[in-house]
Amino acid sequence: MYTNKTLKVINLIEYIELVFTDYTLRTITLGTTILGAVTGMLGSFAVLRKQSLLGDAISHAALPGIAIAFLITGAKDSNTLLIGALISGLIGTFWIRGIVTKTHLKSDTALGLILSLFFGFGMLLLTFIQKQPNANQAGLDKYLFGQAATLVESDVWLMAIVTGICFIVMLTFWKEFKILLFDADYAQTLGFNTKFIDILITTFIVLAIVLGLQTVGVVLMSAMLLAPAAAARQWTNSLSVMVLLAAIFGALSGVFGTAISASQDNLSTGPVIVLVAGVFVVFSFIFSPSRGLLFKQIRFIKNRRDLELHKTLAFMHHIAETHEDISHPHAVKLLNNFQGYTRSTLQKLVDKNYVQLHGNMWSLTKTGFEVASNLYTKQSTEDE
């Protein structure tokens, strides 16, 4: 167990050295990092549009395109196949839009429909290709789960260029993207062509997904799109920070995923990258300060404690009020009548200097009295 861990650390260090020396590994790492960044960035838009299934539909819709491109050209060159993927991904996407606007089917119905139709057709074509006596055919099924090892420098360049364009477009139309995501109808009344903005966003999502097919594959690609964005959403209430964080999480998933799979011989890269992204999600959903489960629980417990404290203080205030001199001491025994009173709450009130103890007697301090009399008025006005 222990040795295993040490071994891995050494491997990771070796890996880092390799990244700088080994050409192949450097290419793959760069590719997965860029891919993670661009999908994270665009994934934020998909998540905020509540179109989580869209990525899934697009990536599955790309499969028949790959097969057809191979059947037509007979080439295994990844760029040719990706153009096929792009075309059929786009066709699938616009069919989804068409179905939603023309037939009034719900959008998840349309997404599910296109996803299964295209994927089924794609698998059919793959089976057909596999039966052909052609030496070239082997390897097409790598697009199902991806194979990062096949990334070459030109692939990485292509990714970098698309990412750059995507980034520039995003900055240019930032305001338009934001208003479309938040309130599309309103954007339209202001005179924005919401269809155009929508198509722009969707086209870039399709591009990013197609770019990732070679590395991560059809089946897991949508996780690459959604996971970094979902994780990022937990940490911020600002759209720009969310997009930035999602890009960073995505990039880190790429780096670590590649590192881990390179240091463990038999692990394929795509699934490991997705798993790392999944770790980001789980970590974020638990530990985010404002939305995480952990802090929510802590806040809940703290609120309950505060409430107990306040209730006891209010009760004491009630007793103290009966006396003209508010610092007049009363018997601790009196408090036993009050449900929820414990010795430790009393001690906490003493610690806060709200209450003084004199043997078996207690009295409110001046601060304690003021805090107590403000308790309820404060709570009712706090909201407005």
Partner 1 sequence: MKKDSKKNIKHSSSSDETSTSTEVIAVKVDDLTVAYNYKPVLWDIDLEIPEGVLMAIVGPNGAGKSTLIKSILGILKPIAGSVSIYGKPYEKQRQLVAYVPQKGSVDWDFPTTALDVVMMGTYGSLGWIKRPGQKEKKAALEALEKVGMLAFKSRQISQLSGGQQQRIFLARALVQNASIYFMDEPFQGVDATTEIAIINILKELRKAGKTVIVVHHDLQTVPEYFDWVTFLNVKKIATGPVKDIFNDDNLTKTYGINYKVSIQE
Q: Which residues bind partner 1 (CB under 8 A)?
A: 48, 50, 104, 172-176, 178-179, 181-183, 185-192, 233, 236-239, 241-242, 383-384
* Closest distance to partner 1 from the beta carbon of 382 (Å): 11
Pairing of strands 355-358, 361-364: antiparallel
CB 89 within 8 A of CB 58: yes
Nearest to 50 by CA among 184, 250, 167, 204: 184
* Closest distance to partner 1 from the beta carbon of 284 (Å): 14
How far is residue 228's CA from residue 41's CA, in Å, rounded to a whole number?
8
* Closest distance to partner 1 from the beta carbon of 181 (Å): 7
Nearer to partner 1, 201 or 273 (CB): 201
Alpha-carbon dihedral 138, 144, 148, 150, rounded to 10 degrees: 20
Nearer to partner 1, 93 or 234 (CB): 234
Nearer to partner 1, 178 or 296 (CB): 178
Nearer to partner 1, 126 or 245 (CB): 245
DSSP alpha helices (H): ranges in the chain? 2-21, 23-48, 52-73, 78-103, 107-131, 142-145, 153-172, 174-182, 184-189, 194-213, 221-233, 239-263, 269-287, 293-321, 343-351, 366-381
Nearer to partner 1, 1 or 171 (CB): 171
* Closest distance to partner 1 from the beta carbon of 107 (Å): 15
Nearer to partner 1, 174 or 376 (CB): 174
How far is residue 26's CA from residue 16's CA, in Å, rounded to a whole number?
10
* Closest distance to partner 1 from the beta carbon of 104 (Å): 6
* Closest distance to partner 1 from the beta carbon of 289 (Å): 13
Tokens of 130: 């596999």
* Closest distance to partner 1 from the beta carbon of 71 (Å): 41
How far is residue 232's CA from residue 251's CA, in Å, rounded to a whole number?
12
What's the length of the chain?
Answer: 384
Nearer to partner 1, 142 or 233 (CB): 233
Nearer to partner 1, 336 or 381 (CB): 381
Per the listing, tokens 């997404």 go with 111
How far is residue 93's CA from residue 190's CA, in Å, rounded to a whole number?
27
* Closest distance to partner 1 from the beta carbon of 56 (Å): 21
| 323-339 exposure pattern, b = at least 16 Cβ within 10 A, e = fewer | eeebeebbebeebeeee
